[in-house]
A and B are shown apart, each in its own frame.
Chain A
């Protein structure tokens, strides 16, 4: 197989090699370097030792951001673990028109998070559709201010993330359902197990591995959340900036006169530390599947 000249592979690999070095490996190294400097968006960047990390210890906003991330994760996990599975079970039977439903359910996934967040801003407004319908149906007597207040904002953003993620995880489950034994389902049915019983004792155990994959994916994306919170709070991070996420903090320090790229890099390292575990697990799961 050694018919090619020695440099041919490197010619083909050229662009990918440049991008690997310049836009993947170097930024990874430089994040660590920057975290020990006071670099600003408008220049500067002298070594400041562990000053940025000391600052992190006294950053009240960071505490809020981390608490928000944990709440985000804990609420998203059960919802995105089961709702998409139910959708997938619904789509599993090849009924006429099922392709249409599958495509339609996937639409929120392909829409930009900005578009989705603006749609939800309109839906959740004091005089928006959700408040209107809830009052019409008697669930609420006066509008609920979904877009103000730390926790309501956070839960509005979570509901948006869940809604946008439904189709994504649904497709993952759908391909896993194909491997769930049909005989097992039939046997359970013959034994008199109803659909709910069969869901818990046949379907769920059958997609165990996929559920692990989904929970890792949900965890990582909850820790990385940005656009939903940014757009719903109009870039402010909510009252007193208490509805921020870690990535929102990183973005906030990336620009303007008050920006601090060194501190933003230290926060990036923190993001790396809390995501690296799930990311490694994800890599393992994907390799096993492949």
Chain B
């Protein structure tokens, strides 16, 4: 690998015409030197071990049978006799399937609520003129200054007074229409040029028709971004369901997992299997939709 570090720069001396181009190559831009490439891959692999290694270790632990020593000082990443026993043990200890169902119900309510609520409001704020619009926007923006944890106690008081404490609706309700998503959808609708809309207005289209035929086809990108974020946010959330839910029957997966690790003398294999049950679905969602995901992050869908 070392012999390739300098050569291209030396060559052009004989043929003066293409010299500038070649020299730029030699300095390491455009095409990269092989040594740098190898170094980069080595560092990338190191970072991969650090970031993904713990998940692999957990997956491996979850597949190790009762007969395999999981504490050995020479870590064994490949289970000697892989088994799904630990996953069955999770199901025997906690009602993990109904927890997963609960998480899914909460996530579904949040996704649908945000998709509908934020789209309608975003369209109205971006494309319709009416009194009170500026005030509404100012209030929405004002709410972003509050971290969710600040109002979590009074949210609980509200949910309790609605008779929804210890219910899944109570878990989903406060974030069913998130103000940040309203702002993001508004930005998406504002990016549609007015000329596209004007034709529809001249043709006498109603606000509703403009939303369906002009608006929606042009905001699909942002709509998928907010639904993915809503799903992951609801699926991963811990603090709020922990406060709202009291009956172990109603737990979502994250609260149930904490319950699994706290209430019983912990068997690391079973807890590992439990974490994988919560982790794998979100990885699948993420892996299939990551294209939208990264675009969303780059477009500023960053939750403070």
B124 at interface, CB cutoff 8 A: yes
State whether A235 touches B279 (Cβ < 8 A): no
Chain A residues with CB under 8 Å of B178's CB are 19
- B118 x A251 contact (CB < 8 A): no
B120 touches A115 (CB 8 A): no
* B-contacting residues, A105-121, CB 8 Å: 105-108, 110-115, 118-121
A12 touches B207 (CB 8 A): yes
Interface string of B85-116 (1 = CB under 8 A from A): 00000000000000000000000000001001
The answer to the question of A205 belonging to the interface, with a C-beta cut-off of 8 Å to chain B, is no
Cβ contact within 8 Å between B57 and A129: yes
A58 within 8 A of B: no
B217 at the interface (CB under 8 A from A): no
A289 to B302, CA, bound (A): 12
> Helix, strand, loop or mixed for chain B's interface?
helix
Assess A34 versus B48: contact at CB under 8 Å? Given A23-B173, A275-B147: no
Cα distance, A227 to B149, chains bound together (Å): 12
User: Could you tell me the distance in whole angstroms from the C-beta of A22 to the nearest C-beta in chain B?
Assistant: 7
Interface residues on A, range: 35 or more
Of chain A, the residue at the smallest CB distance from B174 is A23
A279 touches B304 (CB 8 A): yes
CB distance from A247 to the nearest CB of B (A): 5
Is B283 positioned at the interface, with any CB of A under 8 Å from its CB?
Answer: yes
CB distance from A281 to the nearest CB of B (A): 10
A141 within 8 A of B: no
Interchain nearest-CB distance for B204 vs A (Å): 7
Q: Is the CB of A6 within 8 A of B51?
A: no
Stretch from A59-67, A70-78, A148-156, A181-189 forming part of the interface with B? A181-189
**Contact across chains for A113 and B157 when beta carbons are under 8 A apart:** no
Q: How far is the CA of A190 from the CA of B24 in the complex (A)?
A: 9
Q: Size band of the B side of the interface? A: 35 or more
Report A6 CB to chain B, min CB distance, Å: 7
Q: Which residues of A contact B28 (CB under 8 A)?
A: 189
Nearest B-chain residue to A286, judged by Cβ: B300
Give the CA-CA distance A111 to B294 in the complex, in Å.
Answer: 16
Q: Is the CB of A120 within 8 A of B290?
A: no
In the complex, A290 has a CB within 8 A of chain B: yes
Contact partners of B29 in chain A: CB under 8 A: 182, 185-186, 189
How many Å lie between the Cα of A123 and that of B123 in the bound state?
48
State in angstroms the CA–CA spacing of A272 and B232 once bound together: 26
Find residues 1-37 in chain A having any chain B CB closer than 8 Å to their own CB.
1-4, 6, 8-10, 12-20, 22-28, 30-31, 34
Query: 14 A-B Cβ contacts within 8 A?
Result: A12-B211, A13-B120, A14-B120, A15-B116, A15-B177, A16-B118, A25-B139, A110-B283, A111-B279, A112-B238, A114-B254, A119-B58, A171-B294, A189-B29
Top 8 A-B pairs, shortest CB-CB distance: A16-B121, A112-B236, A27-B151, A12-B124, A19-B177, A30-B154, A15-B117, A27-B154
Which A residues fall within an 8 A CB radius of B?
1-4, 6, 8-10, 12-20, 22-28, 30-31, 34, 39, 87, 90-91, 93, 95, 101-108, 110-115, 118-123, 125, 127, 129, 132-133, 135-136, 163, 166-167, 171-172, 175, 182, 185-186, 189-190, 217, 220, 224, 226-227, 230-231, 234-235, 247, 250-251, 254-255, 261, 264-265, 268-269, 271-272, 275-276, 279-280, 282-283, 286, 289-290
